[in-house]
Amino acid sequence: MLKIGKILLYAAAVVLALLPVVPVALLFLLAFSEHPVFIEGFTLKNFEFLKTGVLFPEHPVYSKLYPNVYTVMVNTFLLALGNMLLVVLVASMAAYVISRYSFKGRSALLGAFLVIHGVPASVLLIALYYMLRAMGLLNTLAGVILVKMSVDLPLGVWVLKGFYDGIPWDTEIAALVDGTSRFGAFFRVMLPLVSPGLFAVGLFSFLSGWGEYVFVYTFIQSSTNWTFSLLIQSLFGEMGGINLALVAALSIVYLIPVLVIFLVGEKYLVRVTIGGVKG
Amino acid sequence: MGLSREASKKILMLAMLLPAVAVIILFLAVPAALTLLISLTELDYRFQWIWCGLENYARLFSSPVLQLIVKATAIYVAGTLAFNTLMGLAIALISTHVHDALGTFVRAVWLLPRVLPSVIWALLMMWIFSPLEHGFLNSLIVRAGGSPVPWTFLYYWPFLFIVNGFIGSSLSGIIFSSAIKSIPQDYIIAAKLDGASGFTIVRRIILPMIKWHIAFFVAYNTLSLLASFEYIMLTLNGGPGFYSTEVMILHAYHLAFGQYMVAMDFGYAATIVTILLVVGLALSVIYWRVFRLRRLMIEPKLE
C-alpha cells in the first residue's frame, strides 16, 4: 500500500517536471526539422541566416521587410545590458540607504516600491507614450531602456534591501573604525558582500530586458530598432503557417542566453522570485 | 575638514537615494497622474489637450462592450488565479514530499516558462494548440487517424489559463514550498504516529498552516492579473470572434494603440486604465493592511 503511494507520488513528480520542459524540447526539434511545419528529420539548414544575418537570401525584396538578424541581436543585447546596469547601479545605492539608515519617509518609500511593483506597468503605457514622445525618446532604444529600468527598479530595491539586511552591522562598523568613510565602507566592504544579490538582480534584469515585448512593440516603430521579440512575433504572424521551422531556429538563437542564465543562475533567480511577488 | 558629520551623512544618503526616487517619480508617479488627466481629455493622434470633463467616463459606462470586457476580465482573473493556486499547491506538495534533489528540480523547471521571453512562450503555445493541421497536437491526432480539433476556437479560456498559468505557478509553487518546509516536522510525525493518512495530513495540517501564504498569493496575483495582457495580446488578442477574450486592459491597449497604430483614442482608453489604477491602488492598500505585508516581504530571506 505504502509502496504504491510512493510510486504514484514519484510518477506525479516526474510528470510535473516534464510539463514545462516538453514545449521547449519541441521547439528544439522543430528548429532542426527538415520539414517547414512538422517535426521531421534533422538538418541545420534553418540556421543558414546566421552566416549573413539575412533571413531570406533567395528573396531580396522580401528580405528588405525585415532587419538584419545581427542588428536585431545587438539591439536586444543593448536593451538587456542597459536595463541590467541601470537597475543594479540605482537599486544597489537606494537599497543600501533604505537598509542602513532610518529617515523620515523610509517606510513610506518602501511601501511605495512594493505597491508600484504590484501594479503592472502596462497600465501606464498611454502616459509613458505621451511622455516619451514629448521628450523625443519615442522610437529609440534609450526610451525603452529608461521605462524598462524604472519598472524593474522597485523589485531590485526590495531584493537588495533583503541582502543588505542580512549583513551584520559589525562588519560595517569594523570598516569604519579602521578609518574608511561611509562611502568607502559601502563601496569596498558592503558591495562585495552583497555580490550574490547584485548578481541575482543583474541576471533578472538582463533577462527581463532581453525578453521585453510590450514596451518595444509600443514605443518602437522603425525596424532597424527592433529587438528579437518583435522580429519573431512579426515572422510568426506572417509565416507561422509557411515556415515555422525558420521561426523556431530564430527562437533558439534568441533563447541561448536565456537558457545559459537559467542553468547558471537558477538558484539566484529563485531568490529574486520570492523577493518580488508577481505572477 | 569642512562639512560636519551630520551634513556629510545627509549628502551621502541623498545622493544615493536620489536616482531611485527620481526614476520612480518621473516614470511611475508622473505617468499615473498623467493617465488620470488624459482620461479627462479628448487626446488623440493630434496630441492636443481638449478637456471634456467626465465625458469619457459617461461614454464608457454607456458602452455596449463594457459588459463584455468586464465579464472577460472576471473570467480571465478567476480562471488564471485558480490555475496558478492549484498548480502551485501541486508543485509545492509533490516537490516537498519526494527526494530533495527531484523536488528542487521540479521547482526549478517551473521557473523556465517564466524566464522565457514572452514571445517564445506565446509562439510555442500557439503552435502546440493551433487549430490548424500543422499544430503540434493536431498533427499527432491526424497521424493517429483522427480529425484535427480547433483548440483555440473551442477552448479559448482553458487555453489562456494554461498559457498564463504556467508563468504564475512557479511563484506560487516556490512560496508554498518554502511555507511547507517551515512547518515543524514534529506535527507531521505526531500525526503519523496517530495513524493519519497522507491525505489527512495535507488537509488537516499542511493546508491550514499555509493558508495565509495562499491568501497572500491570491490577493497579490489578483492585482497583477487585473492589469496584465501581454500573453493574451500575443496569442488570441481578444478573439476568437467578437471580444471573447478582450479583457479591460487589453481593450484599453487596443483603443490607444490599436493594430498598426490606427486607433490612438488616448483619452477614452485612459478612462479604463484609470479605473484599473484606482482599483489596483485600493486593493494594494487593503492587502497592505490585511497581510501586514512589510513583515511578509522580509521573510523571504529564508532559503
DSSP code per residue over B214-269: HHHHHHHHHHHHHT--HHHHHTTTT-SSSSTT--HHHHHHHHHHTTTT----HHHH
Mutate to test the interface with B, among A8, A231, A261, A277 (most CBs of B within 10 A): A277
| Spatial separation of the C-alpha atoms in residues B165 and B67, rounded to whole Å | 25
B229 to A111: CB separation less than 8 angstroms, yes or no: no
Structure confidence by residue, pLDDT tens digits, A110-152: 777 777 776 677 788 889 998 998 999 988 999 999 999 998 9
How close, in Å, is residue A237 to chain B by CA atoms?
Answer: 9
In order, the DSSP letters of B23-45 are HHIIIIIHHHHHHHHHTTB---T
B139 CB near a chain A CB, below 8 Å? yes
Furthest CA-CA distance within chain A: 70
What is the percent of chain A with per-residue pLDDT over 90, rounded to a whole number?
30
| Spatial separation of the C-alpha atoms in residues A208 and A228, rounded to whole Å | 13
pLDDT band at B303 (very low <50, low <70, confident <90, very high): very low
Cβ neighbours of B293 in A, within 8 Å? 114
Question: Residue A267 corresponds to which cell in the numbers above?
Answer: 538558484
B132 CB near a chain A CB, below 8 Å? yes
pLDDT band at A279 (very low <50, low <70, confident <90, very high): very low
**Per-residue pLDDT for B50 more than 50?**
yes
Residue of A nearest to B129 (CA): A23
A20 to B223: CB separation less than 8 angstroms, yes or no: no
For the packed helices B118-128 and A195-211, what is the interaxial angle rounded to 10 degrees?
50
Q: What is the pLDDT of residue B130?
A: 84
pLDDT band at A240 (very low <50, low <70, confident <90, very high): low
Q: Number of CB pairs < 8 Å for A and B?
A: 286
A118 to B277: CB separation less than 8 angstroms, yes or no: no
Contact predicate A141/A75, CB 8 Å: yes
CA nearest to A275, candidates A119, A94, A117: A117
**Per-residue pLDDT for B119 more than 80?**
yes
B1 CB near a chain A CB, below 8 Å? no
For residue A35, the one-letter residue type is H
**pTM of the model as a whole:** 0.89
Residues B139/B142/B146/B148 CA torsion (nearest 10 deg): 50
**Residue matched to cell numbers 484606482:** B278
Q: What is the ipTM of this complex?
A: 0.89
Structure confidence by residue, pLDDT tens digits, B28-43: 888 888 988 888 887 7
Dihedral sign, Cα of residue B139, residue B238, residue B159, residue A31: positive
A278 to B105: CB separation less than 8 angstroms, yes or no: no
Cβ neighbours of A270 in B, within 8 Å? 107-108, 111, 174, 303
Structure confidence by residue, pLDDT tens digits, B197-232: 878 888 888 888 888 888 888 888 888 898 888 899
Structure confidence by residue, pLDDT tens digits, A12-23: 999 999 999 999
Contact predicate B80/B163, CB 8 Å: no
| CB-closest option in B38, B287, B301 to A126 | B38
| CB-closest option in A20, A107, A127 to B112 | A20
Q: What is the pLDDT of residue A241?
A: 62
Residue that wins the pLDDT comparison between A98 and A77: A77
Q: What is the pLDDT of residue B295?
A: 56
| Spatial separation of the C-alpha atoms in residues A67 and A55, rounded to whole Å | 9
Structure confidence by residue, pLDDT tens digits, B161-197: 999 999 989 889 988 998 888 888 888 888 888 887 8
| CB-closest option in A110, A147, A232 to B123 | A232
Cβ neighbours of A251 in B, within 8 Å? 120, 123
Other residues' Cβ atoms within 10 Å of the Cβ of residue B150: 14
Contact predicate B269/B249, CB 8 Å: no
SS3 B51: strand
| Spatial separation of the C-alpha atoms in residues B40 and B70, rounded to whole Å | 21
| CB-closest option in A27, A94, A121 to B20 | A94
HEC secondary structure over B113-140: HHHCCHHHHHHHHHHHCCCCCCCHHHHH
Q: What average pLDDT does this structure show over B124-134?
A: 86
